[in-house]
Amino acid sequence: MTTIYLDNAATTALDPEVVNVMHVSMLQNYGNPSSTHQLGRKAKSAVETARKNIANMLNASAPEIIFTSSGTEADNLILNNAVLNLGVTKIITSKIEHHAVLHTCKHLEKTQNIALNYVKIQSNGNVDLQDLEYLLQTSKEKTLVSLMYINNEIGSILPLQEVGEICKKHNALFHSDTVQTIGHYPLNLQEIHIDFLVASAHKFHGPKGIGFAFFRKGFGVLPMLHGGDQERGARSSTENVHGILGMEKALKIATENLQKDKNYIESIKLFFISELKKLSKDIYFNGTSGDLDKSSYTILNVRFPIKNSMLLFTLDMAGIAVSGGSACQSGSNKGSHVLQEILLEEEEENTSVRFSFSKYTTKEEIVTTIKKLSTLFKK
């Protein structure tokens, strides 16, 4: 049975060119970057060249990039630093953030007694910027705003430039989880007022287990991991050389083909939307995910006019890999915290599925998926 993979917001397939780069590195570049002999210096040089190249792709400087094991670790490193190292006593975030941010903020509220405020979310999943302004206007404490650029469940896009300016106006630090953005949208860090962001290579056809945090120049970094002086003292642990080189290659490919891939994936998403609308007029797209101008071109969160607790399982048995959006099909008692925040109770009862696309998704796969979906409910 052929597998149709429509869960690219969860992870992406490795690009063959990335596999090749990593394979060569594994065979030839096995020195420890902390060693002073030739093989160690060779590995260190490769890591630092990758750091410089990644920084250049974002119009940042190499020292602003800290390699981590994931986007989750990068979020944790930034949020902990904000409180434990930079004097932040209040964090403003939203209830639809990734758990890497939400759970870390709750932990800091409990252990460090910080004030934690949640900005209002509109019914379409967008952040209420007027409420953000109000929260900052009424805050006399040193504040960090943490709002994701693209939501991983519904694909809503934060107006990053505008939020950055609001934070600047009120002297607040600004962190954004950009895991769903890096490799898919251009970012010029000299043009945006943002202090911290994160990336995870496996979201743009790179390897798992490698990512990075961006710390704007001027902020010291207090390590969470101790035991060495790697990453200029910011993260103790032998560098994942092969993963770093794979991430560099993946981001290079993504950056060079950004517009071409965007145009192609947009056409896939539009085709899927049009075919879904033919199935039923009662199919809805959660948040703004059905609007390409207001949501990521890689994510479509679909609410079907049915209650089918076995839908994900049925699709999986048919070889179609997707993610769920509510408790009945995710196996969780809590369900999607994002959909709970933006949907009415009766809307949330219906089955929602997140479909997410990549440059490897084909129109033929969409046709097959639509055919399978058409057998699951009446028009």
What is the distance between the alpha carbons of residues 87 and 18, in angstroms, rounded to a whole number?
A: 40
pLDDT at position 119 is 98
Q: What is the pLDDT confidence band of residue 327, given thresholds at 50, 70 and 90?
A: very low
- Single out the residue of 50, 31, 24 nearest to residue 210, CA to CA: 50
pLDDT in tens, 227-260: 988 999 999 999 999 999 999 999 999 999 999 9
- Count of beta carbons in the 10 Å neighbourhood of residue 110: 10
Report the C-alpha gap between 223 and 344 in whole angstroms. 42
For residue 324, name the pLDDT band (cuts at 50, 70, 90).
confident
pLDDT in tens, 64-99: 999 999 999 999 999 999 999 999 999 999 999 999
Is-contact 136 319, C-beta < 8 A? Answer: no
- Active site (catalytic) residues: 328
Q: Where in the sequence of the chain do the CATH 3.40.640.10 domains occur?
A: 16-256
Could you tell me where in the chain the CATH 3.90.1150.10 domains are found? 4-12+257-374
Q: Rounded CA gap, 198 and 200, in Å?
A: 7
**3-state class (DSSP) for residue 113:** coil
What's the half-sphere exposure (Cβ side, CA atoms, 13 Å) at 247? 35
The mean pLDDT value for 351-358 works out to 96
* CATH class for the region spanning 16-256: alpha beta
Pairing assessment for the beta strands 284-285 and 320-321 based on DSSP bridges: unpaired
C-alpha dihedral sign at 46, 185, 174, 95: negative
The span from the CA of 125 to the CA of 220, in Å, is 34
- Rounded Cα–Cα distance for residues 291 and 314 (Å): 28
pLDDT value of position 378: 55
Fold of 4-12+257-374: Aspartate Aminotransferase, domain 1 (3.90.1150)
Amino acid 2: pLDDT: 85
**pLDDT value, residue 377:** 67
Q: How far apart (Å, rounded) are the C-alpha atoms in residues 303 and 338?
A: 13
Averaged pLDDT for residues 114-139: 96
Tokens in use for 44? 């260190």
H or E segment and range at residue 244: helix 241-256
Q: Could you tell me where the beta strands, DSSP code E, fall in the chain? A: 4-5, 65-68, 90-93, 115-118, 143-146, 173-176, 196-200, 211-215, 284-285, 299-303, 320-321, 323-324, 352-356
